Amino acid sequence: MASGNGSPVTDVVVVGAGFAGLYMLHRLRRLGFSAIGIESADDVGGTWYWNRYPGARCDIPTTDYAYAFDPELEAEWTWSEKYATQPEILAYLQHVAERYDLRRDIRFSTRVVAATWDEAAGSWRVTTDPGGEISCRYLVMASGCLSVPKTVDIEGADRFRGDVYFTSSWPHEGVDFSGQRVAVIGTGSSGIQSIPLIAEQAANLVVFQRTPNFSMPAHNGPAEADRLARLATDRDTYREEARWSRAGVPMEMAVETLAQLPEEERRARFDAALENGHLLSLFSKFPDILVNREANEVISEMIRERIRSIVDDPETAETLCPQDHPYGTKRPCLDTNYYATFNQPHVRLVDLRREPITTITETGIDTAGESFEFDSIVFATGFDAMTGAIVSVDIRGRDGVTLKDKWADGPSTYLGLTTVGFPNLFTITGPGSPSVLSNMTVSIEQHVEWVTDRLVHLREQGFDTIEPTETAEAGWDQHVQDCGDITLYPLANSWYMGANVPGKPRTFLPYVGGVDAYRAACDEVVAQGLLGFALSGPGGTQCNDGVVCRLQPDVALVLQTLADLALPPIESMAADEARQFVNTLNEARPPGPDVGEVVDGVLPGADGDLEYRLYRPASPGPHPVLVYFHGGGWVLGAHDSDDPLCRDLCDRSDTLIVSVNYRHAPEHCFPAPVDDGFAAVRWVAAHAVELGGIPGQLAVGGWSAGANIAAVVSQLARDAGGPEIAGQILITPVTDCDLTRGSYTENADGYVLTAPLMEWFWNHYADPADRTDPKASPLRAADLSGLPPALVVTCEFDPLRDEGIAYAEALSAAGVATRQLTARGHIHTSLTMVDVVLSGAETRAAIADALRQFLGVTVAA
Ligand SMILES: Cc1cc2nc3c(=O)[nH]c(=O)nc-3n(C[C@H](O)[C@H](O)[C@H](O)COP(=O)(O)OP(=O)(O)OC[C@H]3O[C@@H](n4cnc5c(N)ncnc54)[C@H](O)[C@@H]3O)c2cc1C
């Protein structure tokens, strides 16, 4: 059906009638849009219509896994269990459909097979099976993340003459396995939920397992009293907390890393998580287990110990213990009696890694070592997750490009909701949004509300076409990847990575930055006038190009935490007070990696003794030496104040580091700190052997004002004819007293080192007349030739960025071998935040590489 004059028949076509499609239809209707829903099933429910296997339940508590948009709907529905069964959730969705009279707008038993963007009409032509065409202005794919079952790729799968079942499309009338020989293939969530119940009926059950999964007890029972009480007394706050939580469920998050907890406390927290039976418990009690491999292994091993303690047969227990992925990097499961099921004499586990299936036969399954006979085979083999349902529709956007082709190397989206070249197309819980990493009802509501609010905006402003810009999409893709890269998720062959489907590109599909951060990003896009979207229509055109979320995710988190603390600005303090303040903040830092030895000592400065701290690598010496100057604007800090960074560099570069406590302003102004720096380098060069260093293999380096000292010392050493310096490592250096460069304006405030703070530092350090002296502003040196090779590291959101780049360019122009590296999405302080800003590790590795190169350190294979 299409209108005669080419104008759309309906405002919106919504594909799918699960949680997402139903709410979308309801909200569109309430906002005055016409809409048609299309659903391949013969009724509503989506996931909960199809997945009727025994034991199918949600694994987010039903108090949370439900719509929250209508308090009246909430008030009239009571969940009977903590984790409701599939029939109960389906009944709930049927109730929702009836309550809001949604079925009348849905075409059931109808599949959307194609959708083509009609450029001239500015609308989508949607083709359905059975035949028909609908023209619509906007197309919403509410087609589900786990709605396209993975095709079975086992030889002989169609030969079996017994009964075949798929957990993802279970017969409505149920299945009675009594007295049968049953095979279950697959041990993901559906397998783990169904196996104990199938075992109760079957005469014989053989479970074929390729990858064991981590599962914890669900402790199902009545809905949790504490959550019910909170909902009864203050529902709105509870729901708002869910919307702004990490995963869509209100939950207290611990702050301590696992390493900070004594053994008994780790055990106590693990036991408490085990006791309350929540999918998210372990993540909330051990907040670093998805980013720290060692921490994760501690928890993984505790779960394995539990499996071994339940399963009687040691070999079966070992086969059930996941060893190939860190806990949480594949969706963990909640179960009821799963592991104990394998103690029953009629239940057997076959490890497909040792004994792969060679073929399915007419009567059973042949593995490499055995032939099995079965009456029924159950496939619990999972889904083509997140992209499957979207690309299985032949969606053609501008210039006839198909979405499948555009996403051939992995999906590319803006906010997980829209994609360039496909105007007016929205993907609910699409790739690049929190989606399957969250309580999906919360994410679905947020997406539906965001999309419908935008449609209202378009209508009000006289626009009828919306499409993201290339810049915005590339920026979002990068952000999604940045978030994934600091986690352990990429280490697993999971469906989050597309790894379960042969030929599917391997990319991390969901957004792992958190429901809260994601919601903030979507809100920010709106607050900035639909940043990253191009709009057009009778009302004209509008394009506010740009990128949302340019900071590295962990840097953004640090800034948010600091903002929440509302700390006083350092420049409002006296120098001593500021030192005390920074020392206190530093005490809370993770210490950085272990090194071979840390020794404190004293060396002669330009005018009296100076303390130093020596970091010796764990490898046998002697080692090349880096003389290091700490940051702190010539006012703050000491030889031990960059401890984590020095340990990290020592560990990564196998270099002995001597960190010097030069004299500080305002007590000792310019040029005292640089004179001390030069004196220290001369002394270390002369005493290299006693320190455990290799004579002649000496570099200088530093961070911030310390990098300023390192740069100046390199010039002084050149002019004095020694000592020989093999290289200079300048991390976000101060190189000039001009505070008017672009980076000062762009990053004046909000990124820890502010323009006013930098002014405060200069005011303490040097009289205005002295500041242009090359010993204060090394960029102003008349001659930069003949200096040691340099690595200059700058950070994107740093007032000092441009002077760092200027110094690198000036060094290069003077013939000095120079490499300049800009840390994308980082701020002045973030590279020093070892084990806090994990995304800085890559740059610190590059610094260590450069250092090794300067010093000729070979890396042990
Ligand atoms: C067994 C199981 C348990 C789960 N438990 C939880 C849980 O506890 N917590 C949680 O947050 N999430 C859970 N999920 C994820 C679950 O998919 C979502 O929570 C939610 O139900 C998704 O709703 P939806 O409307 O987006 O998609 P779906 O419910 O998948 O609905 C999509 C609908 O679109 C239809 N469709 C797709 N393509 C087409 C097409 N081309 N034409 C016509 N119709 C089409 C499908 O038939 C389907 O009915 C679970 C998933 C499974 C499989």
- Segment 747-763, tens digit of pLDDT: 999 999 999 999 999 99
Q: Identify the pLDDT of residue 828.
A: 98
Confidence at residue 722, expressed as pLDDT on a 0 to 100 scale: 93
Place of tokens 């050493």: 717
Residue holding tokens 């009338």? Answer: 173
So what's the pLDDT on residue 795?
Answer: 98
Pocket test for ligand 1, best of 59, 67, 147 (most atoms within 8 A of CB): 147
What are the tens digits of pLDDT across the range 392-423? 999 999 999 999 999 999 999 999 999 999 99
Residue 543: phi, psi to the nearest 5? -145, 115
Dist CA 193 CA 190 (whole Å): 5
Q: Is 389 in the pocket of ligand 1 (CB under 6 A)?
A: yes
Which atom of ligand 1 lies closest to the CA of 168?
A: 53
**Atom 3 of ligand 1 has which residue's CA nearest to it?**
58
Indicate whether 471 pLDDT > 50. yes
The mean pLDDT of 640-664, rounded to a whole number, is: 98
Q: What is the pLDDT of residue 1?
A: 43
From the CB of 279, is ligand 1 less than 6 Å away?
no
Tell me the pLDDT band of 861, cut-offs 50, 70 and 90.
very low
Q: Give pLDDT tens digits for 71-81.
A: 999 999 999 99
**Distance (Å) from CA 127 to ligand 1 centroid:** 22
* pLDDT at position 208: 98
Is the pLDDT reported for residue 548 higher than 70? yes
* Nearest atom in ligand 1 to 429's CA: 26
Strand-strand pairing, 608-616 and 597-605? antiparallel
**Residue 51 C-alpha to ligand 1 middle, in angstroms?**
9
Average pLDDT over residues 588-609: 95
Average pLDDT over residues 644-656: 97
Coil, helix or strand at residue 691: helix
Q: Is residue 707 predicted with pLDDT exceeding 80?
A: yes
Is the predicted pLDDT of residue 779 greater than 50, yes or no? Answer: yes
Q: Is the CB of 142 under 6 A from ligand 1?
A: yes
Sheet holding 163-166, edge to edge: 163-166, 376-379, 181-185, 204-209, 347-351
Question: Is 39 touching ligand 1 by the criterion CB < 6 Å?
Answer: yes
pLDDT of residue 590: 87
pLDDT value of residue 2: 44
Please report the pLDDT score of residue 131 as a whole number.
84
CA 457 vs. chain centroid, Å, equals 31
> In 3-state terms, what secondary structure has residue 195?
helix
pLDDT in tens, 154-213: 999 999 999 999 999 999 999 999 999 999 999 999 999 999 999 999 999 999 999 999
Please, which residues have CB within 8 angstroms of residue 767's CB and are 6 or more apart in sequence?
A: 669, 670
Report DSSP state, residue 179.
Answer: T
> Ligand 1 pocket, 21 CB below 6 A?
yes
SS3 (DSSP) at 41 = coil
Which residue has the CA at smallest separation from atom 26 of ligand 1?
A: 144
Ligand 1 midpoint to CA 115 (Å): 21
Give the pLDDT score at 8: 64
* Residue partners of 436: CB distance under 8 A and separation at least 6: 145, 146, 331, 385, 386, 429, 496, 509, 510
**Whether the predicted pLDDT of 662 surpasses 70:** yes
Would the pLDDT of 859 be above 80? Answer: no
Query: Quick check: 5 pLDDT over 80?
Result: no
The residue nearest atom 38 of ligand 1, judged by CA position, is: 143
Mean pLDDT of 371-393: 97
**Average model confidence (pLDDT) for the chain?**
96
Q: How far is the CA of 685 from the centre of ligand 1 (A)?
A: 67
Summarize pLDDT for 78-136 with one digit per residue, the tens.
999 999 999 999 999 999 999 999 999 999 999 999 999 999 999 999 999 998 899 99
Whole-Å CA distances, 498 to 170, 362, 384, 389, 490: 24, 31, 8, 13, 11
Split at pLDDT 50, 70, 90, the class of 858 is low
Q: Is it true that the peptide bond before 130 is cis, omega within 30 degrees of 0?
A: yes
Ligand 1 atom with the shortest distance to the CA of 110? 43
CA distance 183 to 758: 69
Residue 92 CB–ligand 1 contact under 6 Å: no
The whole-number average pLDDT for the span 835-860 is 90
173's torsion region: left (phi>0), alpha (psi -120 to 50) or beta? alpha
Give the separation between CA 135 and CA 124, rounded to whole angstroms: 6
Pocket test for ligand 1, best of 49, 85, 440 (most atoms within 8 A of CB): 440
What does the pLDDT average to over 30-41?
Answer: 98
Task: Kindly state the average pLDDT of the residues 440-460.
Answer: 98
Q: Is the model's pLDDT at 424 over the cut of 50? A: yes
